[in-house]
A and B are shown apart, each in its own frame.
Chain A
Amino acid sequence: MELVVFSLLNGVLYGLLLFMLSSGLTLIFSMMGVLNFAHASLFMLGAYLAYQIGRITGFWPALVLAPVVVGLFGAVIERWGLRTVHRFGHVAELLFTFGLALLIEEAVQLVWGRAPVPYTVPPSLDFSAFTLLGTTYPAYKAFMVAVSVGMFALLGLVLKRTRVGLVIQAALTHPDMVAALGHNVPRVFMLVFGVGSALAGLAGVIGGFAFVTSPGMARTLGPIVFVVIVVGGLGSLTGAFAASLLIGVVQTFAVAIDASLADLLAQFGVAVSRRDALYDLWKIKLAQLAPVLPYFLLVLMLILRPRGLMGTRET
């Protein structure tokens, strides 16, 4: 029971973090048709900047400053990079961001070294929020949930209730018409790319202290985020949300379950010997499989429903 509740809590938390990344990615994709390969790298940059700024100013200013810097960086990428590559087509754009991801990973090593940096939970958040079923739930996790939920509420409000949001929504589907009405569509694109990057940066700030802040974090998280948006259906925010939570919960549960097929067979009185041809297979623990599960889900989705959970078109 305790295991189930806490796995669920952690899974939802992980899912929310995934959604912070996949929402920005999806927004950018549906607007510009560009899948930003460097999105997870911006997440990493957010974590490193929060660590660096936090050493000077403390955690709370860094929580605001780091995403702002990452957002500005994103805007610069859009203005002087993507806009130049745009005329060469979508493959070139994707390749440009791919190169950028390589560069950011190397540059991060150049500045902060190859070893992880000691970016830890700030003392002001390092206490237990509540006790449930005899286990304490740390405050920083509650804080992470609060930040991501708050962010989504704000984002939803801006998109649905403000004039800027209206223009962005219109530019998603009818960029030419929006331009004809006198709006500067390229600037809207730059804004969206910047905000999307800032979201990734914010996710990095709060994800950085929960996980390890190392140069490899973009490479481990990146593919999972891409799986999320393919499973959710490219370009669908709701789909990305569902897929984020699904993958977050499934993966967290798998990590918590320390059992293998051999254990299951043992329940029925079948012992597996070391000389068994499929020994490797019987001995895999579910926890060991946890990192693979998102990709299994991807393959399953491709077989059963190629356009994804809530994708609208087959591309």
Chain B
Amino acid sequence: MSEVALKARAARRGAPAWLRAALPWAAAVALILVLPHLLTTSFGRTLLTEMGIAIVFAAAYNVLLGETGMLSFGHAVYFGLGGYAAIHVLRLIAAGLLLPVALLPLVGGLGGLFFGLLFGYLSTRRAGTAFAMITLGLMELVVALALIFDHVFGGEEGIGGDRTSGPALLGVTFGSQVQVYYLIAAWMLLSLALMRAFTRTPVGRLCNAVRDNPERVQFLGYDPARIRLIAFAVSSFFAGVAGGLFAVNYELMAINSLGAERSALVLLMAYIGGVGSFLGPILGAALVTFLQVALSDYTQAWLLYLGLFFVLVTLFAPNGLVGLVLMHAPIARAGLLHRLAAAYALALLPALLLAAGAIAVVEIGYRLTIRPELGTAMRLFGVPFDAKSSGTWIACLLLIAAGAAGLRLVAPYVSARWSEALAEARA
């Protein structure tokens, strides 16, 4: 729907446009203020701070992937180098530099921006697949160099600082986790607002144009490579801000914060959430961080599940989870959502069977190869069984086969109901 139409609808409903635009932000602020009082455990608060950092990073990544169509496999470089810049300045603060610790994320952002311009100058000359490969190569280069210069990077153990060493500002010393939480929340809101604003500027629109049709942009007299560089620099800046927040939160930067794992993770977060919308990467970051923290207590295989989930999203939901939800918007507006409920419920049963079978196979495999010392007696979903008995394996394979067959059987029915509902909603 075009913006004009949106404005027209807003006008009909009587609410001014600015109020409708401000409403989600106000809700976000309220949620952020309330959350630490609901989650008072240290686990909950750690989770919240981690989510805040991940959200800034994923949103920064989306300026690149979603807005400009540039796929980077090494964006953690700017997160990590920004974080290292922040931690070194933090050490200077401890040595007497007069700078409030609250401004460290800005230092991180400037660090990210500097290296973003430096490496972006090289990599953004190319687009598409070549760009993706170059980001991968540059990341490997930076990681390898960082391992060599361990006076600056501290090697595998990393380099630490003390966030309470700075001068107190209005009595805030960042001694407690809650103060750090509010710092992260404030920087998160500011960064998100700025990134949102960037997408509305003419340059931001040109980024979209470069994503959709670079040749045409060239005909209009703009240089796509230069626009890619601008997008890359903006994205690196906010990645650096996230790195700076990470440095303040953990008071430690190590080489793994600029390597392949974090780069892959931010890509997964953004894509699973949905790169087509501004909200997608934010929700993706929150969800993946929650899964990371929650699941890693229960299973060793959470990366495998995450990878599996990611592959399913690339296969069936290229616009991510938010895209899946938005697909239903026209149907929901027409009030026909209940028509789909029965079909979805029918599909849920085989999907659950399939998932249960797959999870069982993975968990048994991990127990047998990686934790054999725990023995073969296991318990999953409350069902005790022996990991080595053939009955268990047959049961797992039966579950998977039944689930897969069921899904195949139900798929045409669900798809038919969907088309029906959509056609009626549009009529």
Contact = CB atoms under 8 A, between A and B. Distances in A.
B145 A292 contact: yes
Nearest to A233: B130
B313 to A, nearest CB: 8
Interface in A273-315: 279-281, 284, 288-289, 291-292, 294-296, 298-299, 302-303, 306, 314-315
Contact of B136 (A29, A96, A110, A226): A226
Interface stretch (B118-126, B397-405, B415-423): B118-126
Interface string B126-146: 111110111011101100110
B291 interface: no
A112 interface: yes
Contacts of B150: 280
Interface in B220-273: 260, 264, 267, 271
Contacts of B137: 223, 226-227, 230, 294-295, 298-299
Contacts of B267: 95, 98
B127 A315 contact: yes
Contacts of A85: 314-315, 318
B136 A95 contact: no
Interface in B303-324: 303-304, 306-308, 310-311, 314-315, 318
Nearest to A225: B133
A299 B122 contact: yes
Interface string A4-40: 0000000000000000000000000100010100000
Given A99-B307, A219-B260, A296-B141, A234 B129 contact: yes
B57 interface: no
A95 B71 contact: yes
A277 to B, nearest CB: 9
A164 interface: no
A102 B136 contact: no
Interface stretch (A86-94, A125-133, A173-181): A86-94
B161 to A, nearest CB: 20
Chain B contact surface mostly: helix
Nearest to A303: B122
Given A110-B369, A113-B369, A223-B137, A230 B130 contact: yes
Contacts of B132: 35, 94
Contacts of A100: 311
B153 to A, nearest CB: 10
Contact of A302 (B69, B122, B148, B318): B122
A98 B132 CA distance: 11
Contact of B370 (A81, A95, A109, A279): A109
Nearest to A296: B141
B366 interface: yes
A122 to B, nearest CB: 25
A91 B69 contact: yes
Interface in B281-303: 301, 303
A96 B314 contact: yes
A292 B144 contact: yes
Nearest to A277: B151
Contacts of B311: 81, 96, 99-100, 103
B73 interface: yes
Q: Which among B73, B144, B151, B267 has the highest number of chain A CB atoms within 10 Å?
A: B144
Nearest to B264: A102
Chain A contact surface mostly: helix
A246 B248 CA distance: 44
Contact of A102 (B127, B141, B149, B310): B310
Contact of B308 (A90, A103, A112): A103
Interface in B345-402: 362, 365-366, 369-370
A111 interface: yes
Contacts of B152: 280
Contacts of A158: none
B71 A315 contact: no
Nearest to A33: B129
B144 A106 contact: no
A302 B315 contact: no
Contacts of A279: 151
Contacts of A33: 129
Given A106-B301, A226-B133, A230-B133, A95 B148 contact: no
A314 B126 contact: yes
Contact of A280 (B127, B134, B148): B148
A103 B314 contact: no
Contact of A94 (B71, B125, B151, B306): B71
B151 A280 contact: yes
Contact of B303 (A98, A106, A114): A106
Q: Which among A94, A219, A284, A289 has the highest number of chain B CB atoms within 10 Å?
A: A94
Given A106-B303, A280-B148, A84 B129 contact: no
Interface of B: 65, 69, 71, 73, 122-123, 125-130, 132-134, 136-138, 140-141, 144-145, 148-152, 260, 264, 267, 271, 301, 303-304, 306-308, 310-311, 314-315, 318, 362, 365-366, 369-370
Given A85-B314, A110-B365, 9 more contacts: A95-B71, A103-B307, A114-B370, A223-B137, A223-B140, A226-B133, A280-B148, A288-B148, A295-B137
14 contacts: A29-B129, A35-B129, A90-B129, A94-B129, A99-B314, A102-B264, A102-B310, A103-B304, A223-B137, A227-B133, A230-B137, A280-B152, A295-B137, A299-B122
Interface of A: 29, 33, 35, 81, 84-85, 88, 90-92, 94-96, 98-100, 102-103, 106-107, 109-114, 219, 223, 226-227, 229-230, 234, 279-281, 284, 288-289, 291-292, 294-296, 298-299, 302-303, 306, 314-315
